[in-house]
Amino acid sequence: MSCSPARLCLTLFVISVAMETLLLAKETTSRPRETTTEEERLEVPYYPYREPKMKEHGIVPHVVPHMPEQIFWAMYKKKGAKQQNVLLGHRIRPHEAQVVPEVHWDAGWNQSIYFTMMMVDPDHYGRNNPMHDQYCHWLVVNIPGDNMTVAHTIAPYEPPAPANGTGLHRYLFLVYVQPQGRVTCDEMQDKRFNREHFSATRFAAKYHFNKGIESANFFQSEHYDWSKHVNVTEDSDEEEDIYTTRTYFSSFHG
């Protein structure tokens, strides 16, 4: 049986991240974590952290109402810099997310199912904004499977640029199933699509994406002043305590 490019990329990504996280698990526990379902095996080491991380960072239920079915795969590969994987709230510096990330999700074998993918910043107007408005960094509809090359882009990728003094921002990737197949969005006709005061939940309700969130992931980023780090290169180990995977996930190993 042939393997789809999306599933192959997802598998390779899981292997690369698993090596570092499994090393941490060996150091902190003598009992291996058991997995019982195909989904869990596919998403190791993500699966055990999905619900606690989404809740810890207020993604569910404050930004979106329900827990996603899957973990969204996203990776930033900037030339000359370290690969940065999006890891359920792991921190990525703004300059490391300037390029369009490679993205995949498990769309299954049926490429006739259409999806909508978006990236939003729910903290653009502050974490306590009463309208729950977000800034839309990326919006693509009518994606067959996870083939972004033949989809319709409403809002091209715009990298994060958190303002100085605004603290950590959460950057959230969301994928919705389009249960009625291809959609015609009002926003397709608007060449000056307003990224501000966007809402993932309102958009999903408007176009009847009533099957919930298929896939999600997020990272955090804050304003980074290079003038204060004149001796730091992009590959430096400075601030390793907040920018490494092992430290980020260590709190879940007791």
Q: How confident is the model at residue 144 (pLDDT cuts 50, 70, 90)?
A: very high
CATH code, 5-224+241-253 = 3.90.280.10
Distances (CA, A) of 1 to 38, 56, 107, 114, 168: 17, 40, 17, 24, 45
For the residues 150-179, what does the mean pLDDT come to? 95
For the residues 23-44, what does the mean pLDDT come to? 41
Q: How confident is the model at residue 26 (pLDDT cuts 50, 70, 90)?
A: very low
Q: How confident is the model at residue 11 (pLDDT cuts 50, 70, 90)?
A: low
Q: How confident is the model at residue 45 (pLDDT cuts 50, 70, 90)?
A: low
pLDDT higher than 90, residue 245: no
For the residues 58-71, what does the mean pLDDT come to? 91
d(CA 40, CA 53): 16
What is the per-residue pLDDT for 84? 93
pLDDT higher than 90, residue 191: no
For the residues 147-153, what does the mean pLDDT come to? 95
What is the per-residue pLDDT for 136? 98
Please give the residue that has the higher pLDDT: either 179 or 229.
Answer: 179
d(CA 154, CA 35): 39
What is the per-residue pLDDT for 57? 94
Q: How confident is the model at residue 211 (pLDDT cuts 50, 70, 90)?
A: confident
- Per the prediction, the chain carries an average pLDDT of 79
d(CA 142, CA 150): 8
Please give the residue that has the higher pLDDT: either 82 or 217.
Answer: 217
For the residues 195-203, what does the mean pLDDT come to? 95
What is the per-residue pLDDT for 69? 87
d(CA 174, CA 169): 16
The proportion of the chain whose per-residue pLDDT surpasses 70, expressed as a percent, equals 69
Q: What is the pTM of this model?
A: 0.76
